[in-house]
Amino acid sequence: MWLKKPNTTDDEYRQVCAQIEKQLDLPISFEGRYKWIVFLNSRINPRVPVLNRYYGVLEDGTLKVRGIDLRRHDTPEIVRKCQADMLNILSKARNSSEFMTMVPQALGVMKSYVAMLRIGQVPVEELVIGKRLSKMPDEYANLVPHAIAARHLVGEGVNVHAGQNINFLLTRRKSGISQNRALPFELTQRNMQYDSEAYVQLLLSSTLNIILPFGYNLKTLSNNLTIA
């Protein structure tokens, strides 16, 4: 439950919690007051913010996040680190006005990660994506990346089944075609060429997830990459 009232103290919020608990016989606790908080857009309707996807900073400086890439188990480490570094910058804002002045600096972090990807400086271990198979590999009509990776494993004689978690990387075809493919992490080699632009798109999407409420879209973020 989110409450907003100017010039309210922690004790007043605790009193509200006590009244709710007493009248509804419902255990409830006071988490804290936020300096600022950003409610993120719904995945179903991007024009509508939701209350279970957010990030914000408590009065004691603690960063709280929920429902973003940083918390997802299938997010590759490179995306997780980029989003964490961006949020670390934004968390230094003391109010909403300072927050907006720090957005360009956070975007600069994204640009540095994009540069590392494009020059091949990212360790393979930070590119691993984990997805759970919802069915057997040969039952997929659409060849999503984790299904492709699973079929690679089957071809190598590995027993793969529905419900299994598949760890894979997005790699570029040797023919140079831009369409990416997925290779199981177990079959990767040191000189493997990952699809840098596929991972750049993941970085852009994760960045958009946290700044979409401020008028950005994939086009503006892509244009931002061309600005020195």
- pLDDT tens for 68-110 read 999 988 999 999 999 999 999 999 999 989 999 999 999 999 9
pLDDT surpasses 50 at 176: no
Specify the pLDDT at position 50.
84
CB atoms within 10 A of CB 63: 14
* β-pair partners for 166: 131
CA–CA distances in Å: residue 4 to residues 61, 94, 146, 163: 19, 17, 44, 43
Please, which pLDDT band fits residue 188 given cuts at 50, 70 and 90? confident
pLDDT surpasses 80 at 211: yes
**Average pLDDT score over residue span 3-11:** 89
**17 contacts 30 by C-beta, under 8 angstroms:** yes
Place of tokens 């997925």: 182
Residue whose C-alpha is closest to residue 87's, from 60, 57, 116: 57
Distance between CA 35 and CA 58 in Å, rounded? 6
**212 contacts 40 by C-beta, under 8 angstroms:** yes
Specify the pLDDT at position 6.
87
Residues making up the chain, counted from first to last: 228
Treating both helix axes as pointing N-terminal to C-terminal, what angle do 196-211 and 218-225 enclose, rounded to 10 degrees?
Answer: 120
DSSP reduced 3-state for 57:
strand
pLDDT surpasses 90 at 57: yes
**Average pLDDT score over residue span 199-223:** 91
**Average pLDDT score over residue span 16-43:** 90
Domain assignments of the chain as residue spans, ordered by start: 1-32, 33-121+198-225, 124-193
pLDDT surpasses 70 at 202: yes
Question: What fold characterizes domain 124-193?
Answer: Topoisomerase I; Chain A, domain 4 (1.10.132)
pLDDT surpasses 70 at 178: no
Structure confidence by residue, pLDDT tens digits, 132-173? 999 999 999 888 999 999 999 999 999 999 999 999 999 876
**Average pLDDT score over residue span 179-203:** 83
Percent helix / strand / coil, the chain, rounded to 5: 45, 20, 35
Angle at 141 between CA 137 and CA 142, to 5 degrees: 95
